Chain A
Amino acid sequence: MNRRTPLTPYLFIFPSAAIFLLFIVWPALQGFYQSLFRRGVIVRNDIPALAAEFVGLGNFRQLLHDERFLAVLGRTIVYTSVTVPLVVLVALGLALLLRDTFPGVGIVRAIVYWPSMVSLIIVGISWKWILGFESGVANYLMTQLGLAKVPWLLDPTIALATVVLVSVWATAGFFMVIFIAGLNAIPDVYYESATIDGCGSLQLFRHITAPLLKPTTVLVVILATINAFKVFEQVIVLTDGGPGRATVFMVQNIYEEAFRHPFGVGYASAQSVVFFFIMLLFAFVQFRMTRGGEA
């Protein structure tokens, strides 16, 4: 609509564009570049920088045989494939429960949403306090019920399960809100006419709610998947990756590779590139499926 001053819109975009270029595009390119070198730039001040050696795709070849990395990747995939269905089911259940209007429903929704309002650090601290082996209130309740104390954060397998449950607790409210919006978008007339035709509650869910909620469900599944793959903060607080390395996931592994192993920058960057392509795959799937779901 404006023909006189062609420079103006560029000036208005400039601050955002500059930040994107400097802090997203440039680091992303640098990440690809670094992944082709052994040693790379040394990130710590106390260790002198050494000349980088170009290794091409050597870092990636090494990754294919790196049991430590493959274990982390596998663990992150397992974590994601357990957490996502669980959080989607819980969020959907909560949405079906709390979409009705009854006295106090607003307060209940607020309570369920609250964990999404606070940081994952706070979520982690809260559960670490509750799940302490000797003096945590959870194990006190277990003994009151005549059960044995559970090593929530001390046993490798149980700690992994604990991280899953805490993550579900932390994010279910957020996804519930999306599901409620999706449910409310389904016109009431569909339910009314189906009820007149003699459909019961289960049939209503199967034939009206489920198909019409599909686009929302796809969105939630993708968001939850991306979210789960980036799991980091709650783990740092709950277990710091332990016991042993039982709960080390992608982000923590990349960080430790670069900062704790003095020559790991190139190798960590290669892991980041792998990570990037996995996220890109998710984004691609999201793009295709949401387009298909809504069209």
Chain B
Amino acid sequence: MRSPLRTVKAMGVLVAVAIFLVPVLWVVLSAFKPGSELATYPPRILPVHWTLANFSDGFRFGNFARYFLNSGFVAVTSTVLSVVISTMAGFAFAKFRFPGRDVIFFAMLATLMISLQVILIPMFLTLKQLGLINSLWGIIIPPAATPTGIFLMRQYMMTIPDELLEAARIDGATNLQIFARIMIPLSVPVISTLTIFSFVWRWNDFLWPFLVINDDRLQTVQLALANFVGQYAVKWGSLLAMTTLSMLPMLVIFLIFQRYFLRGISTTGLKA
């Protein structure tokens, strides 16, 4: 490669890093500044007096301990539910032949087209009829079945040789035993993919809690943060502190499982 192109590319990389990193750093650093420094003009990059007061304020006045608990509960429960039912459905679609199989499978995939945004109002009516408004189960159960999850599971399980299942069956294994002892252990890579992505989706979710939750005590972190901004006098210190804290679980997951994200879900799921 010739050197002028190389210089241009190096400059480009630097600009990209600046554009994508600086805003994030600015938010995180601001979270550690005392109120007086947040209003200082001209602003300083680093806090002069580092403080955790914004964080403790968020917990004391903002009830955020509760919101983090709610978000954690919703993300974990919904992910477990999602992985269990997607694995079950994937098994059926990959390893059984039965009337209606392909029709049902494509019908499920087709629901990708009907996202929550499109059925917002009737969804509210449905949840209300079922008594799921203002209940955390209203944001746990409905999004648990995802076409993406079922598709990933099916594609992966189709690569598991039928001979293994036949052998187990000859030895007298039931379908449930085959599912639990053969399919699940052999599908660990794709199960972990779905677990990670599902947790991230549910943790970051806003539209479901926005639609379902009215009660202050049932808010998730994302909903609480959005409502926090909506107030007339935004308390930026604790808002930025809680924003920073809410990124922490995502940072941990990203650092551990980076390759899953940077390769994209389809390739990780199908080639893992």
Which of B88, B97, B122, B246 is within 8 Å of A122, CB to CB? B246
- Chain B residues with Cβ under 8 A from A201's Cβ? 1, 5
Q: Do B175 and A16 touch (CB < 8 A)?
A: no
Sampled A-B contacts (10; CB under 8 Å) = A1-B97, A12-B96, A15-B84, A16-B85, A43-B124, A108-B16, A117-B253, A118-B204, A125-B229, A169-B20
Given contacts A20-B111, A137-B26, contact A15 B145 (CB under 8 A): yes
Q: Do B262 and A12 touch (CB < 8 A)?
A: no
Chain A residue total in the interface (Cβ 8 A): 84
A88 at the interface (CB under 8 A from B): no
B272 at the interface (CB under 8 A from A): no
Given contacts A28-B114, A230-B115, contact A140 B142 (CB under 8 A): no
A61: shortest Cβ distance to chain B, in Å? 19
A97 at the interface (CB under 8 A from B): yes
Q: Do A119 and B120 touch (CB < 8 A)?
A: no
A251 at the interface (CB under 8 A from B): yes
Q: Do B261 and A13 touch (CB < 8 A)?
A: no
Given contacts A114-B254, A177-B261, contact A275 B117 (CB under 8 A): yes
B87: shortest Cβ distance to chain A, in Å? 9
Q: Do B104 and A13 touch (CB < 8 A)?
A: yes
Taking beta carbons and an 8 Å cutoff, which residues of A are in contact with B?
1-2, 5-6, 8-10, 12-13, 15-17, 19-20, 22-28, 30-31, 34, 41, 43, 93-94, 97-98, 100, 106, 108-122, 124-130, 135, 137, 140, 144, 169, 173, 177-178, 181, 201, 230, 232-233, 236-237, 240, 250-251, 254-255, 258, 265, 268-269, 272, 275-276, 279-280, 283
Q: Do B122 and A31 touch (CB < 8 A)?
A: yes
Q: Do B247 and A122 touch (CB < 8 A)?
A: yes
Q: Do A233 and B250 touch (CB < 8 A)?
A: no
A173's nearest neighbour on chain B, judged by CB, is: B20
Given contacts A111-B21, A121-B226, contact A1 B162 (CB under 8 A): yes
Q: How far is the CA of A34 from the CA of B122 in the complex (A)?
A: 8
Q: How far is the CA of A272 from the CA of B204 in the complex (A)?
A: 24
Q: Do B121 and A269 touch (CB < 8 A)?
A: yes
A145: shortest Cβ distance to chain B, in Å? 13
Q: How far is the CA of A12 from the CA of B262 in the complex (A)?
A: 32
Chain B residue total in the interface (Cβ 8 A): 91
Q: Is the interface of B mostly helix, strand, loop or mixed?
A: helix
Which of B101, B108, B264 is within 8 Å of A9, CB to CB? B101
Q: How far is the CA of A140 from the CA of B30 in the complex (A)?
A: 15
Given contacts A5-B175, A10-B98, A117-B254, contact A279 B115 (CB under 8 A): yes
B200 at the interface (CB under 8 A from A): yes
Q: Do A125 and B243 touch (CB < 8 A)?
A: yes
Q: Do A232 and B250 touch (CB < 8 A)?
A: no
B258's nearest neighbour on chain A, judged by CB, is: A110
Which of B43, B142, B206 is within 8 Å of A233, CB to CB? B206
Q: Do B23 and A130 touch (CB < 8 A)?
A: yes
- Chain B residues with Cβ under 8 A from A119's Cβ? 203-206, 222, 246
Enumerate the 5 nearest inter-chain pairs by beta-carbon distance, A residue then B residue, closest first: A119-B204, A19-B145, A9-B96, A12-B92, A31-B122
Q: Do B247 and A118 touch (CB < 8 A)?
A: yes
B191 at the interface (CB under 8 A from A): no
Q: Do B206 and A121 touch (CB < 8 A)?
A: yes
Q: Interface readout for B231-272 with A: 1 if CB under 8 Å, 0 if not?
A: 000001001100100110011011000100111100100000
Q: Interface readout for B1-30 with A: 1 if CB under 8 Å, 0 if not?
A: 100010001001100110111011011001
Interface residues of B in 35-87 (CB under 8 A from A): 38-39, 41-43, 84-86
Q: Do A111 and B20 touch (CB < 8 A)?
A: yes
B144 at the interface (CB under 8 A from A): yes
- Chain A residues with Cβ under 8 A from B144's Cβ? 19
Q: Do A283 and B120 touch (CB < 8 A)?
A: no
Q: How far is the CA of A120 from the CA of B117 in the complex (A)?
A: 15
- Chain B residues with Cβ under 8 A from A110's Cβ? 254, 258, 262
B118 at the interface (CB under 8 A from A): yes
A154: shortest Cβ distance to chain B, in Å? 15
